[in-house]
Structure 1
């Protein structure tokens, strides 16, 4: 017997409908009327009576109301409603949890689906729709409830399938030339995401709890229709430290991948062989040009023995340069600098500085015989990140400063430059 109908795009109970009124069935969309008897509770029925749709069972209604009450307790500031649309009117969730502001992990809200006997909906297709629309998904089944119908009295809420992994920026360039913006994507597995996920959301039991085919007991999460190893793109809250940390770690992994590329390794070996034969230093650099900036070079000088000596930034057009002496630890500092710059560039269109002058988001001080040099990365109002070296004033020498703009199109070159720096130092150490 159906106990919930839809009228004026909202769920209604049989007690809300007059004897001669009607509602629409949330399951099949057909018209339903209301009736009751001496031994039968007031309920809806399909007109005509020969409809094969049974509507919602009393057990399903009961399960939804218990879950809604528990969700209100967990998310007291959210709007919790039953039978409400989450995907532009195309998907009606059993329960909708809607946040006033998008959450850094769960997006615009949580679509909650209550499954009874695992038969009502395709878990894979429904989950995909909700996540694509920016909403997380929580699947509940009878095993999550205490008691059995009609004695359900509580439910244990598992963690939703979070939408936030889809907030990771696209990172791997697809065949774009230096100086051009590319389409970036990255394949991220559940194992790679897990260390960055708060409260263990990626351990969500329900991804494999509802079988898509009989007898397996698990959903095939590697099938084309659903996979955690899928392309994900920037969608939500890049201000989230969790998302930023994950993105920086992905860039560090990409640097390591460049270190394994045959062309990069061969380039380093050929250059080292040439410099060693002439007993001269290696100048590991990259030339950045094009876009709204002065062309510039970032360079690290490494001895034939693989010892880092000097880091410099030079503007070719103005012949303005600043160099600092460095030691072996520069490799880790430079890797951190590149990962931070690339992370910021991935988010640059979605982030705003905290003040009109920009915001320093990373810094490192090089000790230079009483005149330290500060290296900083600054978030700006433009579509770029500013990298600066600033040497403090001394009694006899003025302040020295050089700032260069780094653009999203520079990401691949920065990653390869960092890989070559690491290879030059590591190869020399061997």
Structure 2
């Protein structure tokens, strides 16, 4: 049996064959609501479409193939998100120099990456020298804290994506955007965290939307200049006696904040 390929690994104009019906397929480019994808050009009738094929509709692919598909969706989503940026590299499984990081490794291979042009004399103020997206899946044995710290030390932002970041046809870039803006526990950027902090505080990054805080709570400290002298008698949540901010811990161990006056 031939190897399964994913759209981002396949050159434009190349013909591939559906693993379910053996019909020929060609690539279609990414759109606003759909990633780069294959479309059947054979074995269709007047009453069927490419999406009717069991090979497209079923979720029966193996775990490693599913991981590759999610990485492919990620790259397509990143192409759309960074379409207006000057990008030196945007693709799958790119090697990153992490020799300045805390691990003993010289290189890591990122699942998906956006790399801005070199020399980096003025890194992007939000993302640094680029963005690495690591796609979590079942039986993933990566040391999240060390991997995150390695990439941060190299100047990259890091996003840990998992099942809730995807639909059947695309990477949900709106979640990616919110995660960095609101500093979710699966998003790390050099402008608000560093390698040492990540190495000490990152415990778990896989979470569902139900585990996110309500709009009243934020991962961003509203009073970062305050040392937060905490009193624990305020409705079970620590209250800063100096600035009035209420704090509580998220399931991942990260602190969440509610400013004085918020209910």
For the superposition of Structure 1 and Structure 2, which TM-score range results when normalised by the shorter chain?
A: 0.3 to 0.5
| Bigger fraction of residues in helix | 1
User: Radius of gyration: which is bigger?
Assistant: 1
Determine which structure has greater relative contact order: mean sequence separation of CA pairs < 8 Å that are 6+ residues apart, divided by chain length: 2
